[in-house]
Amino acid sequence: MNAVNPRRWQALIVLAAAQFMVIMDTSIIGVALPDMQRDLGFSQGSLQWVFNAYVVAFGGLLLLGGRLSDLFGARKIFTTGWVILIAGSVVAAAAGNAWVEILGRAVQGVGGALIAPAAMTLLMMLFGHNPRELGKAMALYGAAAPAGGTAGVFLGGVITQYLSWPWVFIIYVPIGLATLAAVPALLPATQGKRGSVDVLGAIAVTAGIALAVYTIVSAPEQSLTITLIEGVGAAVLLGLFLVIQRSVREPLMPLKIWKAPGLAAANLAMALLGAAWIPMWYFLNLYLQQVLGYGAFASGAALLPMTVAIMIFMIGITARLLGKFGAKPLIVLGLLVLAAGVAGLSLVRPDGAFVSDVLPASLIAAVGMSLAYIPAMMSAMSGARPEESGLASGIVNTTYNVGSALGLAVMTAVATSQGAAEMGNLLKLTDGFQAAFVGAGVLAAGGAVLTLALMRRPGRAVQEGPVTEKTGA
């Protein structure tokens, strides 16, 4: 597309709104979890699948979504993603049992995995003619991610408290229909290109991730033999994915991308960041409601200071520090600060109070998350060649989501083993949540050590830049 689109800034609103909604879909369910658990019959251990079903589908299919966008045209895939997201929202809202809810969330994740890469492609088409405009557009688009996370926490509390939990999904229907109505007038038509779709690779990697998460989740309730069989099955599927990537002509993830300087170390940091942050956010929601007795609205409001801090740091502070100090020092510092914040949360008490037990530690953790996320994202992308930037972005977002799902699965197993399944027993619940916080803190600290040891490039050349996708509160 050579001509400058006169309605490109209106189109940006549609794209940023899509980014906002995709990210909000991960955070809006947090404070609704206890109500969903009560109404749908989730156990304390299986409740995490309301979150994990979305992120496994989203993270596992992001690379496929990008490939489909290239082959069939970004506008067509963007539209298809919204149709699927709306359908998943209807299923999730109407669910009468846990399995239907999990199915709806997985369908939502499939829709998100199509929307996110297509939206980025469309943004580049609309603003690629002018580097200055592109920078402004990317900043606004990137700001939609933390804004979506922040809004989701608060709106989830308001909707759950004053309507009911199905409305956290119903809200996507009118917004999705309005987005679809705006697409023909505002978004540019795009031509696909010839090529093939690595369907086997997409199936192998998504199934492998899902089975790995399921194995960890189910381990406390199964025999060691069954757990080992499932673990081997997950490893075989992920190994098959790598074999497929080596053998097919047009793979989802050409393995040569991993030769890019800093890519592997930055992706490892992102995986451990997600594995620490998401369990902390998840169990903090449960602690507020199941131990301190907060209602949905109060719980959402209690998490607002943390999410606002993330938004302020990511947009206004971290990018400047990145240009001054480079990526590696900020990633290491951010993970250490996150570890310190989560360590503070591990001291929560059965008779605790928000001001003393939650607020200071959660703000420290939020600062740590904000310091590490953008530098790790930009470091992972900066070493790739320009023609590989989209693939590098897809890989690092996949890594974050997979790390989040696996980390939550592990910490849920840890919490359950320490008493988090004993509903109504505040002492046991707190013991379980404390154990999960300790484990998350260990992962964050481990990420800092590994980044310090493995990341060779100082990252000072990384310039200020926006964030594309983020999962979490």
What pLDDT shows up at residue 9?
85
Two tokens, residue 371: 């310091």
How far, in Å, CA of 88 to CA of 210, rounded?
Answer: 18
Specify whether the backbone of 326 is left (phi greater than 0), alpha (psi in -120 to 50) or beta. Answer: left
pLDDT interval class at 102 (50, 70, 90): very high
Contact 205, 244 (CB under 8 A): no
Which of 288, 298, 287, 220 shows the shortest CA–CA distance to 428? 287
Check residue 260 and give its pLDDT: 74
Residue 419 has pLDDT above 70, yes or no: yes
Mean pLDDT, residues 43-50 taken together:
80
SS3 438: helix
Q: What pLDDT sits at residue 458?
A: 47
Q: How far is CA 175 from CA 1, 19, 82, 231, 395, in A?
A: 28, 13, 10, 40, 28
Q: What is the DSSP string of 259-299?
A: GSTTHHHHHHHHHHHHHHHHHHHHHHHHIIIIIS---HHHH
CA–CA dist 439, 338 (Å, integer): 12
Please name which of 172, 242, 250, 171 lies closest in space to residue 205, comparing C-alpha atoms: 242
CB 413 within 8 A of CB 421: no
pTM assigned to the model: 0.78
User: How many Å separate Cα 337 from the centre of its chain?
Assistant: 20
What percent of the chain clears pLDDT 90, i.e. is strictly above it?
A: 23
Nearest one of 271, 268, 203 to 240, comparing CA atoms: 203
Q: pLDDT value at position 137?
A: 74
Strands (DSSP E) found in 86-215 = none
Tell the burial category of 83 from Cβ atoms under 10 Å away from its Cβ (0-12, 13-18, 19+): middle
Q: Say if CB 204 and CB 240 are below 8 A apart.
A: yes
The torsion of the CA quartet 459, 465, 471, 472, rounded to 10 degrees, works out to 90
DSSP 248: S
pLDDT digit string, tens, across residues 311-338: 788 777 877 787 788 888 999 999 999 9
**pLDDT at residue 342 greater than cutoff 90:** yes
Q: Which of 189-198, 252-261, 459-468 has the lowest mean pLDDT?
A: 459-468
Q: Of 120-129, 191-200, 207-216, where does the model show the most confidence?
A: 207-216
Q: Which two tokens stand for residue 70?
A: 């290239």
Q: Which of 96-100, 336-340, 347-351, 424-428 has the highest mean pLDDT?
A: 336-340
Whether residue 470 is predicted with pLDDT greater than 60 in this model: the reply is: no
261 is written with which tokens? Answer: 């300087």
CB 421 within 8 A of CB 43: yes
- As a whole number, mean pLDDT of residues 26-54 equals 82
Q: Which of 150, 74, 167, 154 is nearest to 114 (CA)?
A: 74
What pLDDT does 449 receive? 94
pLDDT at residue 462 in the model: 44
Average pLDDT over residues 1-28: 77
Nearest one of 149, 76, 89 to 117, comparing CA atoms:
76
pLDDT tens column, 196-238:
778 888 888 888 888 887 887 777 777 888 889 988 998 999 9
* Length of the chain counted residue by residue: 473
Measure CA 433 to chain center.
21
Residue of higher predicted confidence among 33 and 467? 33
Whether 304 and 472 have beta carbons less than 8 Å apart is answered as: no
Burial of 266 (0-12, 13-18, 19+ CB in 10 A): buried
DSSP characters over 231-243 = HHHHHHHHHHHHH
Candidates 81, 290, 82; CA nearest to 172 is 82
Give the DSSP H or E segment for 54: helix 49-72
CA-nearest of 248, 233, 90, 231 to 170 is 90
Position 151, amino acid? A
- Rounded CA-CA distance 63/66 in Å is 5
Q: How many CB atoms lie within 10 A of CB 13?
A: 14
Mean pLDDT estimate for the chain: 82
